[in-house]
A and B are shown apart, each in its own frame.
Chain A
């Protein structure tokens, strides 16, 4: 399986949505063909300063919009149903990998490949050098074999950066892995109902392991995930539509050979450069921002974001984490790109909430632990406890 779009020599894989100086970065899109950035992402630089080396750029689905990377312009079709970076980590080819968590693709890939992935609290990791789509909810995250491995990397890349105004200032981070005895975790009934039996069984088994570690686990009803998903898909498509509009064939990347004037240059370049899913996202995002729809779609989603953040904070006053599935199945089959928009929308119900409100999410053992803002240490501790059980 060929996971790299560009192979280098090192121990950290970097998704192709993240820039490494002078190395072609395409975000899986033909539109960015040949684009070589003049600088590296802040996280990459921090890792390099600590002696880590970039192993290569890993395939991603175009702009990270698909399920797990199945619609990359560059990857071989059969190679992509578990996510390229996650596969490399699972195979032990690299120590860890960086990915951009924007609409769940990294978390799904980690779950299907059986590796860990942390999306930290919004503002933790600098977005400088991320090929940005949905600025208000995307965060760079870390894949590693286990919680200890994730901790090692996040401690290097977390923290203030002047080059990113959304990166939090004067915030201290604690990723200490500690005792989980007496912690409280809940399982959301409504999310389990969206999954097949194998996934349900996996979540139940994980809950049992937590109980054996002294964690209290209970099933509750908390029916806000669909609303959170709809709101995030609206904000995400709108922001993506706007952020990919700079890829117009004028400055860099793909330019159509045939055009008679500037409008044709735009239309032809973009028609050839973007895949069907990106075009669907652009159409949807453009629609929700239009004069007629703005108040009912975009603006309402911003309000929903605040309400959901409050409701989730209320829930988290009583629990240390929420245990959820990441995907509705344990494996994806190949499917037609024309169905991608709807498929991704449906699967993102498990992941959207943490993008919408900026809270941390941790994938381990094929399940997901959602935490409160800056509650990463608790999530790492819970996952670590389960991972250490067999030892």
Chain B
């Protein structure tokens, strides 16, 4: 018999905010030592109250807009009760009754063609801390406690492991380009709900949930293992399937049932009276929409249309800071393709010499545009532009002032050019002879000599044309 796989996902994504969700502690990525980023609020001391981080709401709404969700105008927080040492208040603040986004949809393109995955909801919540086990004791580290998460819950719309991985990659690239999350190792965690049914059936099979996986590779292997286990049970009666929570063991590549105790808790959800309902009015929503980065596909299309290569598009899409820099200089009037070259080739090259990457780029859009604009207007040539760019990146100089100070902006008129070229022709008789005898390449030496004479100023194209004319 042929079977169909039915999968739904719950994906937790850690948001890129400067502070935690309900206090002003920095995120755990800023921590060096355990309990570095901890205050009375996120360590569960009495007397402290949660205060909502507005940025979390904006990022959650942005994620919802990217996933075509309805944005709730009234959203509330609930408490989920359970005891665990890494949960200092013995409850997690999350959203049950009025999640921030609902009813979204994302289109996947896989080898099976384009398919829509429905998003049931996105809700905001706080992360738990972590336990470090050592010797006779276990230690609690609250650095990660109250780090903001969004949980994206899909409908059971996936039909293969491939689709799941495509979806996760898509989320990752969207969230990176949108500045929602860096999606680093461990910052994206998945619970996979999986069942198997005979092809053509509309009933769902017995569902199991595989908890807390973060590597896409593990997720894919877990799904394949679990699907096979279900199919074997249905086909050969190898075991009786029960609805349960399982964990994936990366070493053996198998899933195992978790203790019932961990899975059958009554979490006694109820509204958190310390956090007032959040109202998202038209003005705020419009503001978030206006700041929303273009959706990944849309954006890639725009870049492609501007003549930017696929390789460059990948680099831009995966780094929202760089994409924003390009968008900003384009908005100021720079040509998109040229802008991409300035950033991805020139800036990257300058950084590489110092052992840095584009992630380290700190140049402002204003300064970068000042450079590209001087080149575009013909005030300076591209080589001079690159010289200025090096000085801007390395010493943060003012491009226009630097250009003047270095004398790179000298206008070179045709008369002056003529004089220089005449001089070069007179002084390089060998190259002139070679050229006239058909060694076309010899012109390069003459051109180089002109540039040297002009100290990098002047429009290279004009110099070349004039040089060619004079050599006729």
A residues bordering B, Cβ < 8 Å?
19, 25, 27, 32, 35, 37-39, 41, 127-132, 134-136, 162-166, 238-239, 242, 245-246, 248, 250-252, 262, 266, 286, 289-291, 294, 298, 302
Say which residue of A27, A163, A239 sits within 8 Å of B273 (CB atoms).
A239
- B residues less than 8 Å from A25 (CB atoms): 46-47
- Please measure, in the bound complex, the distance between the C-alpha atom of A134 and the C-alpha atom of B271, giving whole angstroms: 12
Say which residue of A37, A39, A165, A298 sits within 8 Å of B274 (CB atoms).
A165
Q: Given A32-B46, A38-B40, A165-B51, are A298 and B270 neighbors across the interface (CB < 8 Å)?
A: yes
Q: Is B268 an interface residue (CB 8 A)?
A: yes
A39 and B47 form a contact (CB under 8 A): yes
B243 CB, nearest partner CB in chain A, Å: 17
- Please measure, in the bound complex, the distance between the C-alpha atom of A129 and the C-alpha atom of B46, giving whole angstroms: 7
- Please measure, in the bound complex, the distance between the C-alpha atom of A294 and the C-alpha atom of B266, giving whole angstroms: 11
B140 and A163 form a contact (CB under 8 A): no
- Please measure, in the bound complex, the distance between the C-alpha atom of A84 and the C-alpha atom of B327, giving whole angstroms: 66
10 smallest CB-CB distances across A and B, nearest first, come from: A136-B273, A245-B90, A289-B268, A135-B273, A131-B46, A129-B47, A19-B47, A246-B89, A246-B44, A135-B274
A37 and B47 form a contact (CB under 8 A): yes
Task: Give 1 or 0 for each of B83-98: 1 = CB within 8 Å of chain A CB.
Answer: 1010011110000000
- B residues less than 8 Å from A163 (CB atoms): 49, 51
Interface residues on B, range: 20 to 34
- Please measure, in the bound complex, the distance between the C-alpha atom of A238 and the C-alpha atom of B43, giving whole angstroms: 22
- Please measure, in the bound complex, the distance between the C-alpha atom of A291 and the C-alpha atom of B81, giving whole angstroms: 12
A166 and B270 form a contact (CB under 8 A): no
Say which residue of A27, A129, A134, A289 sits within 8 Å of B270 (CB atoms).
A289
B49 and A165 form a contact (CB under 8 A): yes
- Please measure, in the bound complex, the distance between the C-alpha atom of A302 and the C-alpha atom of B268, giving whole angstroms: 16
- A residues less than 8 Å from B45 (CB atoms): 37-38, 251-252
- Please measure, in the bound complex, the distance between the C-alpha atom of A100 and the C-alpha atom of B284, giving whole angstroms: 36
Q: Is B108 an interface residue (CB 8 A)?
A: no
Q: Given A37-B45, A128-B47, A286-B268, are A245 and B274 neighbors across the interface (CB < 8 Å)?
A: no
- Please measure, in the bound complex, the distance between the C-alpha atom of A162 and the C-alpha atom of B53, giving whole angstroms: 12
For B44, the closest partner residue in chain A by CB is: A246
- Please measure, in the bound complex, the distance between the C-alpha atom of A145 and the C-alpha atom of B420, giving whole angstroms: 99
Say which residue of B51, B268, B270 sits within 8 Å of A162 (CB atoms).
B51
- A residues less than 8 Å from B91 (CB atoms): 242, 245-246
Q: Give me 14 other A-B pairs in contact (C-beta within 8 A), A25-B46, A127-B49, A291-B268 excluded.
A: A19-B47, A27-B46, A37-B47, A38-B45, A128-B49, A130-B47, A131-B47, A164-B49, A165-B274, A239-B273, A242-B91, A245-B90, A245-B91, A248-B83
Among A38, A242, A302, chain B packs the most CB atoms within 10 A around the CB of A242
B47 and A41 form a contact (CB under 8 A): yes
- Please measure, in the bound complex, the distance between the C-alpha atom of A129 and the C-alpha atom of B89, giving whole angstroms: 16
- B residues less than 8 Å from A286 (CB atoms): 268
- Please measure, in the bound complex, the distance between the C-alpha atom of A37 and the C-alpha atom of B275, giving whole angstroms: 23
Among B48, B140, B271, chain A packs the most CB atoms within 10 A around the CB of B48
A128 and B48 form a contact (CB under 8 A): yes
- B residues less than 8 Å from A302 (CB atoms): 271
- B residues less than 8 Å from A128 (CB atoms): 47-49
Q: Is B230 an interface residue (CB 8 A)?
A: no
- Please measure, in the bound complex, the distance between the C-alpha atom of A251 and the C-alpha atom of B47, giving whole angstroms: 15
- Please measure, in the bound complex, the distance between the C-alpha atom of A144 and the C-alpha atom of B471, giving whole angstroms: 104
Q: Given A38-B40, A166-B273, A286-B268, are A246 and B90 neighbors across the interface (CB < 8 Å)?
A: yes
A225 CB, nearest partner CB in chain B, Å: 22
B253 CB, nearest partner CB in chain A, Å: 30
A19 and B46 form a contact (CB under 8 A): yes
Say which residue of A19, A35, A246, A291 sits within 8 Å of B88 (CB atoms).
A246
Say which residue of B40, B47, B52 sits within 8 Å of A132 (CB atoms).
B47
Q: Given A37-B45, A251-B43, are A166 and B276 neighbors across the interface (CB < 8 Å)?
A: yes
Task: Give 1 or 0 for each of B17-31: 1 = CB within 8 Å of chain A CB.
Answer: 000000000000000
- Please measure, in the bound complex, the distance between the C-alpha atom of A331 and the C-alpha atom of B429, giving whole angstroms: 120
For A137, the closest partner residue in chain B by CB is: B273
